[in-house]
Structure 1
């Protein structure tokens, strides 16, 4: 059984996109505005994800998003870890050692997805590429270097929020830990219960958080 902890902590510190499809040739502010529109329109989402760290270790699972401020990474069976964002904090739960760690969402690259009021056009840039169907945007807020750098990859799709389908991202944290996340089976606008973002606290004998 491989050690999953480094890969998951890298995801929390910064979620980044190494081998996602090649990004588009820069098409100026129009595509940047389209990315902003897509992120704002993405009120709920579910998707299967595949996560790889810089050592090539891969984990899979299901992602659930609900704005504002809620996301859950439910990992594959046999991986005793969970990542949940709610209440302004990003929580990492390791059931194997009964440990819980929390960070402010604002200090995570995930804030790009979770804060609908955030205007990424002020500190994002298009990444040049060769496929006009794909839009790749690098987000790096110089006022908040603790959030690291995240590159979002979208495919043009009229049926997706804002006409762009989120395919995944590559995150690079301040310690240069790289994590690549790919999404499949994306569904938008689906009902998501608030209970989705509750979790069992391993530090307690009974009860939930």
Structure 2
């Protein structure tokens, strides 16, 4: 169960993505990096993608990723993995159907909280790790709550993406220094997503 409790994002090569983009998109190249990330988060109401998740031991799992702001997210793993991660707007749930456990905690206590908040205070919790004409890496960590871990978000600079940024993945390092990396493909932005996508069957 613990090996799933860190979800990570890393920069990967630019990939083609189907997306619906607001007409008010602001190009990331014209803004400071943190301002561009904040603009991206404000521009994305929903997102779907395929993901691959690699843990510190090199084990890789795949599945589908769904996000709806504020506060809703779902990681649906490949069929042979009896595991689900879902946030319902209030709490983030780690559901293990094999052991019949359903652990949860407030969304803000997770490194993924930065993705779920439509208006995060990035100047307080984030710093730019890398910024060039193709890539933007931003590391977020709550200085008052180091136990929640660190997340590094990876974006490609794509003019047609929301606010000129295409979210490609993230890397999470937890308080025990365990690293997990998630890479996204087939990203789609601002497509219809029902709230029912964030319900789940509780283990019996």
Q: Give 1:51 shift.
A: 0.3
| Partner SS for 2:175 | coil
Within 5 Å, which residues of 2 pair with 1:54-203? 54-128=56-130, 131-203=132-204
**Distance in 2 between the 1:51 and 1:179 partners?**
7
Other-structure match for 2:25: none
Other-structure match for 1:24: none
**Distance in 2 between the 1:178 and 1:106 partners?**
20
Normalized against structure 2, the TM-score is what?
0.86
Q: Give 1:6 shift.
A: 4.2
Q: Give 1:144 shift.
A: 2.1
Normalized against structure 1, the TM-score is what?
0.84
Within the alignment, does 1:8 sit opposite 2:9 as a pair? no
- Conserved in 2, the CA contact under 8 Å of 1:16 and 1:149? no
Q: Give 1:8 shift.
A: 1.4
* CA-to-aligned-CA distance 1:148-180 (integer Å, 9 cap, x gap): 111111001122111100000001111111100
- Conserved in 1, the CA contact under 8 Å of 2:41 and 2:119? no
Q: Give 1:16 shift.
A: 4.9
**Distance in 2 between the 1:163 and 1:56 partners?**
32
- Conserved in 2, the CA contact under 8 Å of 1:108 and 1:146? no
Q: How many residues align?
A: 190
Q: Give 1:87 shift.
A: 3.6
Q: Give 1:20 shift.
A: 3.9
Other-structure match for 1:46: 48
Q: Which runs of 5+ in 1 are unaligned?
A: 22-26, 204-209
* CA-to-aligned-CA distance 1:134-157 (integer Å, 9 cap, x gap): 011111120221221111110011
| Partner SS for 2:99 | coil
Q: Which runs of 5+ in 2 are unaligned?
A: 14-28
**Distance in 2 between the 1:87 and 1:68 partners?**
7
| Partner SS for 1:36 | helix
